[in-house]
Amino acid sequence: MPQKLEKKLIEDYLIEELQKRGWDFVLAEELERESLSEPILVENFKRALKELNAEIRIGGEEINKVLQEIKLLPASQDGIKKFLHYFKYGIDIKFEKERVIKNVKLVNFEEIGKNEFLISKQVSFKGKELRRPDIILFVNGLPLVDIECKSPIKEKITWEEGFNQIKEYENLVPELYKYVQIGISAGEFVRYFPIVPWQKAEDIKIYQWRDENKGEIEAILEFLAPQRLIDILRNFLFIREERGEMTKVIGRYMQYRGVNKIYQRVINNLEEKDEKNKGLIWHWQGSGKTLTMILAAHKLYFDKRLERPTIFFIVDRQDLEEQLTGELNALDLNFTIETIENINHLKEIISHNNFQGKRGIFVTLIHKFRPGEFLPFERLEKELKEKSKEVVTIAERKNVISFLDEVHRTQ
């Protein structure tokens, strides 16, 4: 694409290219909307819920419950946190006829093509004032991405203009930005960032997406391809809460590549497509290796093919153990973390359930695996071999994953 394009040409180019990647374009006036003050495409959302939850026979009553639960979320930190959680993990709804609680999913993460991907431009939203974002991306009727386009040929107009515009809209149309997760400012240069309405502009971390041999516009188009965007929203975007301060973290391009290489190696080994079951990732200082490990663990843990895996985070210093545990607890990951306190605790995890091993997420120091210090090590190894004749032990299971951080001195 030519670098010097007017704003409208950038807007039209992005829409045209996103359609090639799987998005359906609908004119703003043709969207099925209840009103300008309702950001959700309600009828699209209802149809998607019914399609995505056919196996639990969801009816109109349950659909309305889900819709009301989402609509009534406040446009506050707590409401925004809950919406992102619902988007990733579904909503537990009581089915009155059966008197049971079932999980209703908002997105099909296994079969991406079964979701609805709509794109529209100049859609009006009414809040404190009327505003029209340049491009809005809807998934199953939910507005999730706002793209603001800026002309690169006008002096003093940069991607920062689009960023500041979105920050202004967050205040003026808060109901819309309760749902929108990612903001993008596109012109000669392109930047993306998480939507965090309660944070000041200067506190928001802003990133450039890179894709091999592609310019900035082409790279962000790949970022927004349906399969990749859904992956990013589910596995690379999280609420982070620590010491009463809440924000959102979003993965960067190198973390995305690293995580998916880890993920694919595990899946290929599990499905016996590849014998390789190890790997080494090199990080430079400040590139987010701790977050890379956590993101990879989350993606693997929630993949149904791994059938509730056992995941170990292994470090070689107590301060790193505390730092990692703190980061795991700060993120809304929807799983429980267990810290291995001593060697006997480790043995309990390994010998759990007739030596099949305990399932879950564990943090430990590598020293607990040392045969010299692990007094029952030889006996445990012998017991594992004996039990392997009866069951698939933890030593043989393919869904046991270890992430080793900073252990080059002792591994």
Q: Which contacts (CB < 8 Å, 24+ apart) does range 319-327 have? A: 320/405, 320/406, 321/363, 321/364, 321/365, 323/290, 324/290, 324/293, 324/363, 324/405, 325/363, 326/242, 327/290, 327/291, 327/294
Quote the CA–CA distance of 202 and 247 in Å, as a whole number.
13
**Which of 177, 202, 236 represents a domain boundary (last residue)?**
236
| Residue 99 lies inside a defined structural domain of this protein | no
| Residue 46 lies inside a defined structural domain of this protein | yes
How would you write the pLDDT of the chain (411 residues) with one tens digit per residue? Answer: 444 456 678 899 999 999 999 999 999 999 999 999 999 999 999 999 999 998 888 888 999 999 999 999 999 999 999 999 999 999 999 988 888 999 999 999 999 999 999 999 999 999 999 999 999 999 999 999 999 998 766 655 678 899 999 999 999 999 999 999 999 999 888 999 999 999 999 999 999 999 988 999 999 999 999 999 999 999 999 999 998 899 999 999 999 999 999 999 999 999 999 999 999 888 777 768 899 999 999 999 999 999 999 999 999 888 889 999 999 999 999 999 999 998 889 989 998 999 899 999 999 998 877 666 555 566 777 788 888 878 888 989 999 999 998 766 555
State whether 273 and 309 are in the same domain.
yes
State whether 134 and 229 are in the same domain.
yes
State whether 287 and 230 are in the same domain.
no
| Residue 106 lies inside a defined structural domain of this protein | no
CATH code for the domain in which residue 374 is found: 3.40.50.10810
| Residue 371 lies inside a defined structural domain of this protein | yes
State whether 272 and 134 are in the same domain.
no
pLDDT of residue 5: 53
- Number of structural domains (the chain) is 2
pLDDT of residue 377: 63
State whether 264 and 199 are in the same domain.
no
State whether 354 and 273 are in the same domain.
yes
User: Which amino acid, residue 259?
Assistant: V
Domain assignment of residue 301, given as a range: 253-405
From residue 187, alpha-carbon distances to 1, 278, 402 in Å are 12, 41, 42
| Residue 246 lies inside a defined structural domain of this protein | no
State whether 218 and 296 are in the same domain.
no
| Residue 62 lies inside a defined structural domain of this protein | no
